[in-house]
A and B are shown apart, each in its own frame.
Chain A
Amino acid sequence: MDLFAQLLVNGVIAGSLYALVACSFGLILGTTGTFHFAHGVVFAAGAYGAYFAAGRGLPLWAAVGVGIAGAALVGVLIEVVVYRPLRKISASPLVILIASLGTLIVLENAIAIGFSTDAKVLEGFPRKGVIIGGVGFTTLHVTMVAVSLVVFLGLLAFLHWTRTGRAIRAVATSPEMAEIVGIDTGRVFLLVFAIGSAMAAPAAILIMMDRGGTPDMGMEAILIAAIAVIVGGIGSVPGAALGALIIGVAQNLGVMQIPSEWQAAIAFGVLLVVVILRPHGLLGKKLKKAEI
Chain B
Amino acid sequence: MLIEAADLVAGYGTKQELHGVSLRVAAGEIVALIGHNGAGKTTLLKTLFGLLPALGGEVRYGGRPITGRRAALNVRDGLSFVPQGHGIFTDLTVGENLELGGYSVGAADPDRLAAIHDLFPILKERQDQRAGTLSGGQQQMLALGLALVLRPKLLLLDEPSLGLAPVLVQRVLESVQEINRRFGTAVLLVEQNVKQALRIAGRVYVMKVGQISLEDRAEALLARRDLWQLF
Chain A residues at the B interface, C-beta cutoff of 8 Å: 90, 163, 166-167, 169-170, 172-174, 176-184, 235, 285, 287-292
Contact = CB atoms under 8 A, between A and B. Distances in A.
The 8 closest A-B pairs by CB, nearest first: A182-B104, A292-B135, A182-B72, A182-B75, A173-B91, A173-B89, A292-B137, A287-B132
B138 interface: yes
11 contacts: A163-B103, A170-B103, A172-B91, A179-B51, A180-B83, A181-B75, A181-B100, A181-B146, A285-B132, A290-B133, A292-B168
Interface string B146-181: 100000000000000000000010000000000000
B135 A291 contact: yes
Given A182-B72, A292-B138, A173 B92 contact: yes
Interface residues of B, number: 32
B144 interface: no
A174 B81 CA distance: 14
Contacts of A180: 49, 51, 71, 75, 81, 83, 87
Nearest to A90: B13
Contacts of B90: 173-174, 287
A238 to B, nearest CB: 13
Given A169-B89, A177-B87, A182-B72, A163 B135 contact: no
B57 to A, nearest CB: 22
Nearest to B141: A292
Contact of A166 (B51, B75, B100, B134): B100
A287 B131 CA distance: 10
Contact of B136 (A174, A179, A289): A289
A169 B13 CA distance: 28
Given A289-B134, A292-B168, A183 B83 contact: no
Given A166-B99, A169-B89, A174-B89, A179 B71 contact: yes
B145 interface: no
A289 B92 CA distance: 14
B150 to A, nearest CB: 9
A292 B133 CA distance: 10
B44 to A, nearest CB: 16
B23 to A, nearest CB: 21
Nearest to A160: B96
Contacts of B92: 166, 169-170, 173
Nearest to B101: A181
A29 to B, nearest CB: 15
A39 to B, nearest CB: 23
A285 B91 contact: yes
B89 A182 contact: no
Contact of B133 (A166, A170, A176, A289): A289
A90 B91 CA distance: 26
B76 A170 contact: no
Contact of B96 (A166, A177, A182): A166
Contacts of B72: 179, 182-184
B107 interface: yes
B19 interface: no
Nearest to B75: A182
Contacts of B51: 176, 179-180
A289 B103 contact: no
A285 to B, nearest CB: 7
A172 B136 CA distance: 21
Contacts of A285: 91, 132
Nearest to B132: A287
Contacts of A287: 90, 132-133
B101 A288 contact: no
Residue in B49, B51, B103 with the greatest tally of chain A CB atoms within 10 Å: B103
Given A167-B103, A181-B103, A181-B146, A290 B134 contact: yes
Contacts of B112: none
Interface in B52-98: 71-72, 75-76, 81, 83, 86-92, 96
B135 A290 contact: yes
Contacts of A169: 89, 91-92, 96
